[in-house]
């Protein structure tokens, strides 16, 4: 971690440890490089506004076990882990420790997040590893209905590029 990165974290009123904790969420949430800064932006905005982060990877971290470290969480899993401090559906703030070892681009995404209107996202579940993003509850509900419909969502592959910060190849 460079001094410039440390300075940027300080400018954001985040400790370097908090940056790593958020970057770990980003790392586990998406395998798609150009989504990292947008997902980081959503988590940072929710964190700054005192919302719960509603992060599936935190529940996966709690319930994972050998042979299935990152299972898809169910509604029952959310309830059964409600008292666990790592469950960011039920607890505000960040996890006590990072849930994973974030890569460079996830750390960079937290330090250089997108500038988007989004507060929500949902996995497309179409094999693309991509997400749909929403600025409101109504948009999020529409996105969830689209995912449930099974319709082709490839038209959304590049829909969010305009929000990416410049100067980095986010496809890596």
Q: What is the pLDDT of residue 165?
A: 85
Six token digits for residue 94:
């960040």
pLDDT one-digit tens code per residue, 16-57: 999 999 999 999 999 999 999 999 999 999 999 999 999 999
pLDDT tier, 152 (very low <50, low <70, confident <90, very high otherwise): very high
Q: What is the pLDDT of residue 29?
A: 96
- Write out the DSSP string of 60-119: HHHH-BTTBSSPPPPHHHHHHTTTSTT-TTTSBS--SS-SS---HHHHHHHHS-------
């Amino acid at each position: 971690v460079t001094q410039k990165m440390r300075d940027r974290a300080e400018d954001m009123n985040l400790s370097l440890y908090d940056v790593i904790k958020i970057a770990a969420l980003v790392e586990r949430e998406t395998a798609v490089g150009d989504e990292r800064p947008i997902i980081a932006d959503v988590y940072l905005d929710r964190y700054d506004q005192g919302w719960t982060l509603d992060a599936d990877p935190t529940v996966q971290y709690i319930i994972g076990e050998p042979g299935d470290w990152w299972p898809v969480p169910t509604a029952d899993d959310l309830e059964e882990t409600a008292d666990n401090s790592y469950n960011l559906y039920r607890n505000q703030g960040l996890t006590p420790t990072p849930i994973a070892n974030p890569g460079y681009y996830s750390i960079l995404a937290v330090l250089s997040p997108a500038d988007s209107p989004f507060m929500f996202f949902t996995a497309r579940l179409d094999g693309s590893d991509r997400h749909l993003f929403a600025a409101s509850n109504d948009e999020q509900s529409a996105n969830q209905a689209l995912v449930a419909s099974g319709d082709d969502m490839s038209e959304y592959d590049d829909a969010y590029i305009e929000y990416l910060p410049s100067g980095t190849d986010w496809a890596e």
